[in-house]
Structures are given as structure tokens and as C-alpha cells.
Amino acid sequence: MDNRAALTAFGENLASRGAPQTRERYLRACESLITAAGDTPLAHIKRHDLQRALAKLHAQGLSPRTLAVTLSAWRAWFRYLSKTDATFSSTVFVGIKAPKAAKRLPNALTETEAVRLVSAPVENDAQQSAWIVARDQAMFEVLYGCGIRMGELVGIDLADVDLANHELRVFGKGRKERVVPLGAPACAALQSWIAQRTVGVNVIDTNAVFLGARGERIAAPVVRKALKARALQQGISSNVYPHRLRHSFASHVLQSSGDLRAVQELMGHASIASTQVYTHLDFQHLAKVYDQAHPRARARSQKKTSD
């Protein structure tokens, strides 16, 4: 089987079991290996050939993240070929690693921006009904007030809301259950929304707390669109999305409390390593406070300016 035929067969295999976006991304990555191989049959490629091909792509400016996907695609291709052709072996990839990507810090809003975002607008959009305004207000208060994920938000049922005890039950990754506290603003917004949730709507999903306009459980794209509209309405020009409110929640709670273990529990992180990334944001905040407040820091800042 020549290189091009091998890629065609792999593409057909991906089409039968993978997402279209993944298939296209993997096929593009494998095209780069065909180019690097030239006239060399894939079955004859050695470890150093793969390392050289990867290094060349890196030199062309591909990011570590893209190179990691590329390497993953190559491995998947060889695993597939090794099942149909004994001349192929996926062990040729042993020891080959993509360059490490720099860890990106979570993109949190400032406390002022977050509070402004979730505060009810002074003037409501004339095109929005009171029903939508109440629903959106409750969603935004819960997203920022509880730091939950998008999937957890849309999955909330009426039985999960305990307004009397200011608690909310959510189901995270792997359907892992946790209970998070509801602050007073979130409780008030939820109470207002639930009171008018069924008014003028043919409710299809009777369990769901948050509904779409047709009465079904609300979909994630609707939440994203509503949040972007609220950000523009409140004069926040940066990109605002539901997970950014989760980052903001974690960062702001950690800045105020310094309790990393508690933030881990609130966020539903299985490992505290996932929560530790917010300590970097906390340090940035502390460094900024230091630069603004400490006499020696001010002197250093003034010296830099004069230099």
C-alpha cells in the first residue's frame, strides 16, 4: 500500500467512528507526514525520520499544541496501519514527544467587571421579555456565584435547588455529584425566575430549571449568546464566556480566602493540581497590590520611570 492509499484508508476508518472536525484535523496532520516522507514508504520510516519531521514543523512556526495534535494523529494512523499490515509498527513512536506548551493562565474578569456583568442592567433591552430577563439574571448569578461549569448549569433540575438552605446540587464530570452554596443574590434571582418559569410557556422539560424559548431544557449556545449580549450591554468589551465566569469565581474566592483546598471542593476538581493554577493569578494580584502600596516598590517604580 502506497502512502496516499494508506491515508485514504485511514480517512475512511475515521469517518466511520470519529467526529468530522477530528477527521479533518488528523488528515491534515497526516498529509504533513506524507510530505516529509517524500518517496520513502511509511513502513520504512524510522524514529529519527519522525523526529526530524516534527522538528521541521516546529521550525515552520507550528505551536506546541498543534504539534501535539499532529503527533497524536501520526500515532493513530500507524496504530490503524499496524492492525491491517504487519510491516507497520506503532512502536516507532516510542520516546517521541511534542514540545511542551506553555501553560496558559485562566482568563479571569476583574472583581469590578464580574460584579458589573452579573448586576441587573438599569435599562433592560426592549426586545427582551421579562421572562428572558429573569432567566438570564438567574443563570449569570449562578455561573459567577457558584463557579459551576456550563454543562452543570444546563443540567440543573428543580429538585437540585434548595433555596431554604441556600444550596445547589450539581453533577460534574463523570456525573460526580457535589453541593455548592448559593449566595443571597443567586438565591434571590433563582427564586424570581422559578416563580415565573412556566408563565406563558409550553413547558416540555418539566424538570429543567433553565428553559429555552420553546420550553425545552436550555442549550449551551443560548447561554453563551445571552452572556455575550449582557457583556456588551454592561460595557464590557473583552470576550466573555461562561467558563470565564468560573475562572473569575475561583480567582476571586482564592484572593479573598487564600484557602486552596476549599476552592478545590467548590470547583469540583478531582486533583488540587487543577486548582493550583489560580494561585498564579492570586500572586499576580498580590504583586500588583505590592507595587501600588509598598514604599520600596513605589521607589523602584519611580526609579524605572526616571531611567
Tell the CATH topology of 3-93: DNA polymerase; domain 1 (1.10.150)
Q: Is 280 labeled as catalytic in the residue annotation?
A: no
CB-based burial, 187-204: b 16+ in 10 Å, e otherwise = bebbebbbeebeeeeeee
pLDDT of residue 150: 94
Q: What is the pTM of this model?
A: 0.62
Tens digit of each residue's pLDDT (9 = 90 or more) over 68-101? 999 999 999 999 988 888 788 878 888 888 877 6
The pLDDT assigned to 304 comes to: 47
pLDDT at 301: 47
Query: 92: which residues sit within 8 A by CB, 6+ positions away?
Result: 45, 46, 47, 50, 78
pLDDT for the residue 124: 63
**Whether residue 173 lies in the annotated active site:** yes
pLDDT at 2: 82
Instruction: List the domain boundaries for the chain.
Output: 3-93, 111-291
Catalytic residue (choose from 23, 25, 149, 247): 149
pLDDT (0 to 100) of residue 64? 87
3-93 and 111-291 share one fold = no
What's residue 97's pLDDT?
Answer: 86
Catalytic residue from among 197, 230, 244, 246 = 246
Q: Specify whether 278 is catalytic.
A: yes
Report pLDDT for 300: 45
Is 246 an annotated catalytic residue? yes
Q: Which CATH class is domain 111-291?
A: mainly alpha
Name the catalytic one among 48, 56, 173, 300: 173
Catalytic residue among 79, 228, 269, 285: 269
What residues of the chain score a pLDDT lower than 50? 298-301, 303-306
Q: Which residue has the cell 513605589?
A: 298
